[in-house]
Structure 1
């Protein structure tokens, strides 16, 4: 289907559904307040003077001056880290060539496998919109019971006791895991709460204890047994199944790895520094090769009040780099629990910002916060097995001008997902090397911030993984290994990592091993006093974001050198600053603000969006990454008004997404909702998991 300029919805932002504020996307001010503590309304925490490409590189071809922290890397190489050290540098295969596809033939049944459906047009419907020939249904929604003793959901009679046994709010990461022949396990996290949309009569200045404790319970994680329908693509939750679990802000989590027990994670409630209550602001995640679930703690900073009262300059610098608020928080939790007041419990924030490992297959297990993977605003932890059997995990730090990371395990993985394999790998994530990425472009002098392609026709170049820490060995001058892991952002600042445009989800291709990074946006790029454009982040005032493709040695993810290129520079295809892998732009769907990414069985990359700055609802898009159709982008669904598309799961017979914060539009409330999805009839909106299938029993996009 050709999407003509007349049908394309051009950038439109109204007072009702968005603003031209610091975020500069269609994300509402309400979303900014509750989701990330209004991060874009404050100065970016990264004020380091890391070099730009122009400062680092005088000769891009020879790359003689790429390494600013060469002494650190040289020392690491000289020491020799046995099988966990940075591997010898090699130049991987060149990135994929630009797409040269023909215009698509109209209608389903044509085009690349997996993407043979009629594109969904940009819209503002208060519904999940799918292509002709597809159907959708809600799997589970906020407030639905996981256990039999739970009362029916009633927004006017909510309680913390009930919410601890119901599906939580604002689901984000999602996966479906095999359990037995007839039952699968749906795992989902609950990133944040939007109190104004949850509680009728809510007063933001004076929340009640019951409301606060209910919000504590609405955060966290869910594990739900589900049964697939035999005749269509529905899943049915099995209420009361013995595998069902809820993890919330009062659940015990274990601190694991090098930081466990360190003085900077000890509190009055936990003097040993090994047991943390809860997990906060969980965003994207991943599944390990041994079948456990990794979930990422992201904007944890917004929950901790009164950083401005801290007088110690070292601690104040650390708090500032992680963006903790100087005064009270949006939700006022500090009024009800001292651990959310930094002035009273200065180490409590250090117990959040980690990757958490959960074993959904063992209902008696305690989740572990894996401190060897560093502490920052984590997005994702997705694996790729190295040539020698170790595992590399890729992670983004979702903040303007922050970094991309990789962790490589010291030990080899035991293959399989059996209970024996999970036991054998239970400590794998406690030992390894943590790296941060530095990118170098190969078109010096050609990047002017406009998004204009360089003379070679691609945004591309090379890069390296800079080691930060291995076990108790730090490669950052002046910082111990524990300090590097606790204050990873400050360590990465010191070694000259490349400042990126909000690196969010990261996903290695199961076919090619190439790694894809969603860079959502950064309207501060090129602003006064801020870093300008570079080839990996080629636009100033970057409203729409881009997608980066990183190519390492095909057989060894432990290598420290890579090449890279941009697969997409997002936005309106009619905008000359956009790029779709070289595919003809008049035949792609407009896409803005890429967030979560996943792969289908055919090797296509699927991208969900967050804060579409083009004026239409967020959605889910399939993108061809290899061959003559490379860059071809096709919208598969859109979500309701005010919502974000999260956690895509792409199977051959089903697509699942989380519909997060429907109706989160400025001026809306539980008393005056802006959406009634999914229940209709003027009801309050409820974040939910949705499944989509082909009504004729065919596979998705075939």
Structure 2
């Protein structure tokens, strides 16, 4: 059944589902700090701030009715009988069938401590935190953890996921997952946040990074079972990495342990990622600022400002790793932060290979990176900087992709992201009449044009040219946010996953939220509403569609979704009838199914419901139709969605995470039930007849 008509969100009372603890350990409490971007970049196209006009939904017959542009919409996902509709009504009043891929019963908003899937579907856990990945790992027990075991077990808080078929082995795949962050109170018995032990810290470091594990399926249902395969590997906070691109070997990358500036120990806070056409994995290092202490105490004013631009000001970190390793203390190792916040590339087919950090793609809070290949073989990588008022980027390689599948071909293709040009996006709106938060322009859509601004070019010989006045090439690569400030990049509402469509080539960007937009709050940075950011105090987020000249410098854009409760007037679903959509809040990660539909996972739902996974039609009469496919347990975030013909996979991150939860007093017992400790896990869902999802 669909959502019954009710106003899920009071415009005057924003409550994200994220706990404060999640903010502390996932992103370093960024929600409660001043925005690092204090630049005064120009705004274009008659864009200015207006006092937000609060709208109150009219109620009739127990359901919320909203009048928009002369049309009334019933805020419900069920028909008059209370059953889920199998067709949708367009604004013109014509019944249209749900497109292939969206033929499932919408999951209602809920707060259950479970994974909830549509009627006729089932789900199962694939692998949990602490389960074996590498031979020799011990059996996991909360009271019997060790660094050695943690380096061989599935890490904590899985985020990005990939599932790669193993050639020549039917129903066998490589599952690759990121492990974004750790929450020690929910890992260790008797954890004292003021006095963590060295062993606890080293287990945390071992529980970050990535897991590569073989899984086995079958022909009867969607279940996947981990097996000990030759490719299985754990990458963690002490795994050696190679630094490549313009930063490698520069004075900005050299430390007391690495005089070459080319070798980095570990990867941390790996958020989303992508699968390259040549079969490797890209992983984005995101909120690394929270791991580094002492940036505000640096004497050099320029260096201090640059640490501040990346949010590295605190004298002491929440985790206090700096007590046990000098590399987390900027006062002792000022260049160590310059070796993180990059896109990482891993070859999952060679467990002995050294992973790479690509500095030519710039240094910022990479949510991930995703690839589009043009007709002539040019490779374009898109990425978002996941913070309020940060920027969208792309990297256009000067190398062409090899089409072969040999180890030599893959090794050559792993050099693609080291040579080319890095750009940052500048947006303009089309409508001079856009003036009021949440009010569509007269042309009935939010749209406009844009330009990619050059930041840096790296040649085939390794030399690099800066396109930013007053900054060297190495500085642009390390202080990329500052370079974006200088060229007038456009401040966005938390740009997260940026995904090119596999057939149309259009690029979709999840803009998760930004309640600072136009808020004029004391001590907080501010930027006015704009046609590409049309909601003041944007609490529910946006999804943007970009038609890009991939290898060029021009693009057009439109907003596909203005997320939120469809009973609220400011929401927009691609022009689709809001009476027949699921409420959606805080879009995070994106993927596509084989029918061409967009799928969206959410993080921080502000509509009094658990986070979930949603399917969205992109074409024809049903464009904008949005249907919730699943929800994750209370306190959890939906991560790393994968949608195949017969399987849907999500990573369930930080289940049961609230401000009081500990090992001793866990508020969730998912996935094992009873009195068990909750454990972040990877989940698979399938149709009970093992048929095609949504068909």
Alignment TM-score, normalising by the size of structure 1: 0.90
Alpha-carbon distance in structure 2 between the residues aligned to 1:104 and 1:699: 24
Confirm or deny that 1:327 pairs with 2:318: no
Which of these residues, 190, 193, 217, is aligned with residue 182 of structure 2? Answer: 193
Confirm or deny that 1:478 pairs with 2:470: yes
Alpha-carbon distance in structure 1 between the residues aligned to 2:10 and 2:600: 20
Alpha-carbon distance in structure 2 between the residues aligned to 1:108 and 1:638: 20
The alpha carbon displacement at 1:421 in A equals 2.2
Structure 1, 226-235 or 514-523: larger mean CA deviation: 226-235
**Secondary structure of residue in 2 paired with 1:265:** coil
Which of these residues, 123, 130, 139, is aligned with residue 117 of structure 2? Answer: 130
The alpha carbon displacement at 1:306 in A equals 1.1
- CA deviations on 1:166-213 (whole Å, 9 max, x unpaired) are 000000000101222232111001000011111111110001111111
Which residue pairs with 2:539 in the alignment? 543
- CA deviations on 1:289-324 (whole Å, 9 max, x unpaired) are 111100000001100001121010111111000001
- CA deviations on 1:526-548 (whole Å, 9 max, x unpaired) are 02251110011111100000000
Confirm or deny that 1:143 pairs with 2:112: no
Which of these residues, 639, 664, 669, is aligned with residue 632 of structure 2? Answer: 639
- CA deviations on 1:48-86 (whole Å, 9 max, x unpaired) are 0001224799xxxxxxxxxxxxxxxxxxxxxxxxxxxxx
Which residue pairs with 1:658 in the alignment? 651
**Secondary structure of residue in 2 paired with 1:262:** coil
Confirm or deny that 1:212 pairs with 2:201: yes
Is residue 179–residue 361 contact of structure 1 (8 Å, CA) maintained in 2? no
- CA deviations on 1:114-137 (whole Å, 9 max, x unpaired) are 010000000000000000000000
1:232-631 equivalences under 5 Å are 232-239=221-228, 241-448=229-436, 450-471=437-458, 472-528=464-520, 530-553=526-549, 557-631=550-624
The alpha carbon displacement at 1:440 in A equals 0.4
Which residue pairs with 1:223 in the alignment? 212
- CA deviations on 1:346-403 (whole Å, 9 max, x unpaired) are 0000000000010001111100000110000001210111232110010000000000
Is residue 662–residue 677 contact of structure 1 (8 Å, CA) maintained in 2? yes
- CA deviations on 1:601-644 (whole Å, 9 max, x unpaired) are 00000000000001100000000011110000000000001000
Confirm or deny that 1:25 pairs with 2:16: yes
Is residue 289–residue 417 contact of structure 1 (8 Å, CA) maintained in 2? no
Alpha-carbon distance in structure 2 between the residues aligned to 1:10 and 1:153: 41
The alpha carbon displacement at 1:12 in A equals 11
Confirm or deny that 1:678 pairs with 2:667: no
Is residue 9–residue 606 contact of structure 2 (8 Å, CA) maintained in 1? no
Is residue 586–residue 602 contact of structure 2 (8 Å, CA) maintained in 1? yes
- CA deviations on 1:647-694 (whole Å, 9 max, x unpaired) are 000000000000000001121111100110001112111000000000
Which residue pairs with 2:29 in the alignment? 38
Is residue 289–residue 416 contact of structure 1 (8 Å, CA) maintained in 2? no
**Secondary structure of residue in 2 paired with 1:482:** helix
Alpha-carbon distance in structure 1 between the residues aligned to 2:628 and 2:2: 12
Q: Are the structure 2 counterparts of residues 154 and 11 from structure 1 closer, same or farther at C-alpha, using a change threshold of 3 Å? A: farther
Is residue 620–residue 638 contact of structure 1 (8 Å, CA) maintained in 2? yes
Is residue 372–residue 379 contact of structure 2 (8 Å, CA) maintained in 1? yes
Which residue pairs with 1:5 in the alignment? 5
Alpha-carbon distance in structure 1 between the residues aligned to 2:230 and 2:632: 32
Alpha-carbon distance in structure 2 between the residues aligned to 1:389 and 1:104: 47
The alpha carbon displacement at 1:420 in A equals 3.4
**Secondary structure of residue in 2 paired with 1:196:** helix
Moved over 3 A (4+): 1-4, 8-13, 54-57, 103-110
The alpha carbon displacement at 1:423 in A equals 2.3
Which residue pairs with 1:47 in the alignment? 38
Alpha-carbon distance in structure 2 between the residues aligned to 1:148 and 1:403: 42
RMSD: 1.9
Q: Are the structure 2 counterparts of residues 694 and 473 from structure 1 closer, same or farther at C-alpha, using a change threshold of 3 Å? A: same
The alpha carbon displacement at 1:108 in A equals 5.9
The alpha carbon displacement at 1:416 in A equals 4.2
Is residue 395–residue 404 contact of structure 1 (8 Å, CA) maintained in 2? yes
Q: Are the structure 2 counterparts of residues 434 and 104 from structure 1 closer, same or farther at C-alpha, using a change threshold of 3 Å? A: farther
Alpha-carbon distance in structure 2 between the residues aligned to 1:317 and 1:668: 36
Is residue 343–residue 359 contact of structure 2 (8 Å, CA) maintained in 1? yes
- CA deviations on 1:437-464 (whole Å, 9 max, x unpaired) are 011001124232x211111000000001
The alpha carbon displacement at 1:10 in A equals 4.3
**Secondary structure of residue in 2 paired with 1:400:** coil
Is residue 46–residue 432 contact of structure 2 (8 Å, CA) maintained in 1? no
The alpha carbon displacement at 1:327 in A equals 1.1
**Secondary structure of residue in 2 paired with 1:53:** coil
Alignment TM-score, normalising by the size of structure 2: 0.90
Is residue 3–residue 78 contact of structure 2 (8 Å, CA) maintained in 1? no
Alpha-carbon distance in structure 1 between the residues aligned to 2:383 and 2:349: 24
Alpha-carbon distance in structure 2 between the residues aligned to 1:104 and 1:614: 18
